[in-house]
Amino acid sequence: MPPELSQKPYFIRALWEWCNDQGLTPQILVDIDHNTRVPSGFDDDGKIILDISMDATHGLEMSNEWVSFQARFGTVAQQLDIPVARIAAIFAAETGQGMGFDVTDSDDGASSVNTEVPTNSPDSKFDDGKPKGSPLKLIK
C-alpha cells in the first residue's frame, strides 16, 4: 500500500479555487523557515500573509509539496517558494473565511532555500507568534 498523502495541499487548492469562483482574494498565512523563499522585509515576526490571487501572481504552481509563483513587491518581481508544510492558513481576504492548518517542519531532505528574515517591525500584527484578531471564522 502506498504511503498516505496529506490532505492539506488538496484543501489549499480547493479553497484557492473557491475564492476565485466567488470573486474573493485568496491569501495564505506562512510561517517562515529556512526552506521558505519570500522577500525580506515583508514578514512580521517570521510570518507573512501573501495574496495568491490570479491577478497578484505569475506562474502560480501548487503541488503537493510546494506553492511557487512570482509576485511584485514594490516594483521588483520576485520568485516565492513556500513549502506546503509551512502554510498555516488559506482564507478570503474580504471575508476571513478559510481554513487553518498545523504547521510542520519542512525538512524533507531537499536542498535548503535561502531566506532572509528581518527583525520585527513596530506595527506588528503578531505577538509571541500568535495572530491577533485572526481573519479566520469558525464555521459550524
Domain extents in the chain: 8-105
pLDDT reported for residue 118: 33
**How far apart are the C-alpha atoms of 66 and 130, rounded to whole Å?**
24
Query: In sequence order, what are the beta bridge partners of 116?
Result: none
Which tens digit of pLDDT belongs to each residue from 72-99? 998 999 999 999 999 999 999 999 999 9
CATH of domain 8-105: 2.30.30.220
List Cα–Cα distances, 134 to 6, 35, 49, 100, in angstroms: 24, 25, 12, 10
Low-confidence ranges of the chain (pLDDT < 50): 109-134
Residue 56 is which amino acid? A
* Owner of C-alpha cell 505577538: 127
**How far apart are the C-alpha atoms of 87 and 48, rounded to whole Å?**
10
